[in-house]
Amino acid sequence: MAARAMDAETRADRDDHGAIRLWLRMLATNRLVETRTRRLLQERFSTTLPRFDLMAQLERAPKGLKMGELSRRMMVTGGNVTGITDMLEEEGLVERAADPSDRRAWRVRLTPAGRRAFASMAQEHERWIVAIFAPLSGREMKAMGGLLARLKENVRTLEGSEA
Residue 117 has pLDDT above 70, yes or no: yes
What are the residue ranges spanned by the domains of the chain? 32-131
- 57's CB contacts (< 8 A; 6+ apart) are 65, 70, 73, 74
**What's the average model confidence in pLDDT over 81-101?**
93
Residue 150 has pLDDT above 80, yes or no: yes
Model-wide pTM > 0.85: no
CATH of domain 32-131: 1.10.10.10
Q: What is the pLDDT of residue 79?
A: 82
Phi, psi of 23 (to 5 degrees): -60, -45
Q: What is the pLDDT of residue 161?
A: 80
Q: What is the pLDDT of residue 7?
A: 62
